[in-house]
Amino acid sequence: MANPTRAATIRFDRAAMEADPGPQITHYNMPLDYPRLYEWIPGDTTTSDGLAVLTHSGGTIGRWHLIRGDIQGVNLTDADETLVVGGNFFRVLPAAVPLTVNRVKTLATTNAAVGDEIHINRIGLGAFTLAIANGGAGAGTIYTLPAGQSWWAKAYFNGTDWVAHSAGQNP
C-alpha cells in the first residue's frame, strides 16, 4: 500500500515539527504546545506563518497545514437561548436580527470540557442588551453587551462554570 492510513504522531511542540525534514507522504502530527491536528502536504510551498502553515528543515518539499474544524454554529436569534458546546464555539447575532427586548444567552455546561471557550459576537445595533449567563453551578451574568453598540464577548469553562475571558467593542 503506497499511502497507508496511520495515526497522528504526537510531537512536543511546533518547533520540533519544523526542525525535522518533512515526510515523503501525507502524514499527520499533533504538537503538544498547540494541540490541533496538522497535515503534511508534500510539494506544497505556501509561506509559513508559524501557526496555520508550518515549514520544515530540509528533506522533502512540503508544508504542515493546520486542519481547521468548523467552529461557527448557527446564528443567534431574538430569543433567550441556551447554548451548548455541540452548537460550536463561535456564535453571531447578525445585524439583520435586532433584539426586541433584553435577551439572555445561557452557556450550558453539557458536554463542556475544561478549557473550552465560546466567542459571541453581536454585530447588530439595537435598543436592548444581550446578557451572557453562566449555566453552571455558580450561575449569574458573565457579561452584558450594551444596547446600541456592536460588541463581542468570550468566556471559558473552568470545569464547573463558564467564566469571563475577555470582551470588547467591535471596530
Same domain, 41 and 90: no
Same domain, 55 and 111: no
Look at residue 86 and tell me whether its pLDDT is greater than 80: no
Same domain, 156 and 87: yes
Same domain, 92 and 132: yes
Parent domain of 114: 81-169
pTM: 0.63
d(CA 106, CA 139): 9
- What share of the chain has pLDDT > 70, as a percent? 94
Q: What is the pLDDT of residues 3-38, one digit of tens each?
A: 446 788 999 999 999 998 888 888 899 999 888 889
Look at residue 57 and tell me whether its pLDDT is greater than 60: yes
Domains contained in the chain, number: 2
Any domain includes 75: no
Same domain, 60 and 108: no
Instruction: Check: CB of residue 116 under 8 Å from CB of residue 90.
Output: no
Same domain, 163 and 86: yes
